[in-house]
Each structure stands twice: as structure tokens, then as C-alpha cells.
């Protein structure tokens, strides 16, 4: 079936708009008086290049719209979304709960998402989290958030 807009074309449009925004921002950066180059020169080249290549990708995707694609796995899977959500929640919760608690909960969630069993998740997660915590705290002197554990 002929697609009205292919994923490549959509990605090309996003890159083109992003490149145009970079270019526009770069033009607002003024050079210091007496200098022939300013902080915006290189970003403006990169932005223009990205906008140009974005347009090229959009056109290329449109020309190739009739080529059937290989049976690629779906982009949005429950597992991938689950990993992103779990990471996002952990980022927000870790400063309050601390690494030990947030990391353990995160690990349990990931094991279950990955098809692991409850028992192995509950046994493995606190051990792995504590092991990594003490490796970085004692071995590398990284001060990981302690949260409610003080």
C-alpha cells in the first residue's frame, strides 16, 4: 500500500526544522567587535547542513515510498516504553528515595518487564543495587543520593 508519508520523510522534516531552528539561533549570536568570526559561525554551518540534509531525507523517503520494507520489529514495544517510563520515574524519585530504595524498585520492575520471575527479582534486586552502591561509594568515592535513608 502506498504511504502518504514515510517514517524517513517524517524524520527528515523533523531534522530540517531542527536544523532551521539551530541556524536561526546561530544568526542571533554576534561576533565580538573587530573579529571576523563569532560564536554563531560554526553552529550556523551545522544548522544549515542539518536543514539541507533533512530536506534531502524527506525527499529520499518520498521517492522510496513504494519500496516494501523488511519485516522490522515494531518501534514502539511495551518493553521499550516500560524501560523509558521506569528510568524516567527513577530519575524523579531517586533524589527523594535514595539510590538504594529507588534502584531496588527499578531493578525489580526491569526484571519483571524482561520476563523474569518475582522471586528472582526480589532476591536479586537488593543484592545487585547494594553491590553497585558500595562499589561506587567505597571504591570510587561517588556520593550517590541517600534520600530518606539519610
Partner 1 sequence: MEAFALAAGLVFNVETLVTIFLAAVFGLFVGAIPGLTATMATALLVPITFYMAPIPAIAAIISCTAMAITAGDLPGTLLRIPGTPASAAYVEDSYRLAQKGQAGLAIGIGVVGSVLGGLFGFLFLLFTAPMLAKAALGFSSFEYFWLAVLGLSCAALISSGGLVKGALALLLGLFIAQVGMDPLTATPRFTFGNVELMGGISFIPIMIGMFAVSEVMRAGRRAMAEVPQINLKNPFEGTMGALWKYRKNQVRGSVIGSLLGALPGVGGDLAAWITYSLAKRTSKEPEKFGKGHPEGLVEAGATNNAALSASWIPAMVFGIPGDAVTAIAVGVLVMKGLDPGPTLMTIHPENFYAVMIVFAIANILMLPLGWVAAKSARWIFEVPRALLNATILLFCIVGSYSINNSMFGVGLMLGAGVVAYILEARMIAIAPIILGIVLGPLVESNFTTSMMIADGNLMGFFSRPVAAIFGIVTLLIWSLATYRTIRGLMAGPEQAIPDAEENSP
Q: For residues 5 and 142, which CB has a smaller minimum distance to partner 1 in the complex? A: 142
Instruction: Say whether residue 148 binds partner 1 (CB under 8 A).
Output: no
CB of 148 to partner 1, least distance (A): 16
- To the nearest 10 degrees (0 to 180), the angle between helices 7-27 and 41-63 is 160
Q: Extract the C-alpha cell encoding 56.
A: 534531502
Restricted to residues 51-110, the positions that interact with partner 1 (CB under 8 A) are: 53-54, 56-57, 60, 63-67, 72-73, 75, 77, 79-80, 83-84, 87-88, 90-91, 94-95, 99, 103, 106-107, 110
The per-residue DSSP string of 139-150 comes to IS------GGG-
How far is Cα 45 from Cα 88, in angstroms, rounded to an integer?
34
**36 makes contact with partner 1 (CB under 8 A):** yes
Shortest distance (Å) from residue 19 CB to partner 1:
7
Angle formed by the axes of helices 78-97 and 99-113, to 10°?
170
Q: Binding partner 1 by CB under 8 A: which of 19, 97, 100, 101?
A: 19
Q: Which of 74, 49, 77, 57 lies closest to 14 in space, CA to CA? A: 57
Binds partner 1 by CB under 8 A, chosen from 20, 116, 146, 147:
116
Amino acid at each position: 500500500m502506498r504511504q502518504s508519508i514515510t517514517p524517513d520523510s517524517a524524520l527528515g522534516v523533523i531534522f530540517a526544522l531542527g536544523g532551521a531552528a539551530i541556524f536561526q539561533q546561530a544568526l542571533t549570536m554576534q561576533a565580538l567587535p573587530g573579529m571576523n568570526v563569532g560564536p554563531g559561525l560554526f553552529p550556523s554551518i551545522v544548522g544549515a547542513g542539518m536543514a539541507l540534509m533533512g530536506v534531502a531525507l524527506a525527499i529520499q523517503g518520498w521517492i522510496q515510498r513504494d519500496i516494501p520494507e523488511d519485516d522490522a520489529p515494531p518501534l514502539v514495544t511495551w518493553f521499550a516504553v516500560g524501560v523509558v517510563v521506569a528510568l524516567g520515574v527513577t530519575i524523579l524519585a531517586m533524589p527523594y528515595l535514595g539510590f538504594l530504595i529507588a534502584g531496588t524498585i527499578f531493578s525489580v520492575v526491569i526484571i519483571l518487564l524482561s520476563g523474569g520471575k518475582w522471586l528472582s527479582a526480589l532476591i536479586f534486586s537488593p543484592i545487585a543495587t547494594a553491590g553497585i552502591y558500595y562499589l561506587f561509594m567505597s571504591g570510587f568515592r561517588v556520593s550517590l543520593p541517600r534520600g530518606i535513608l539519610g
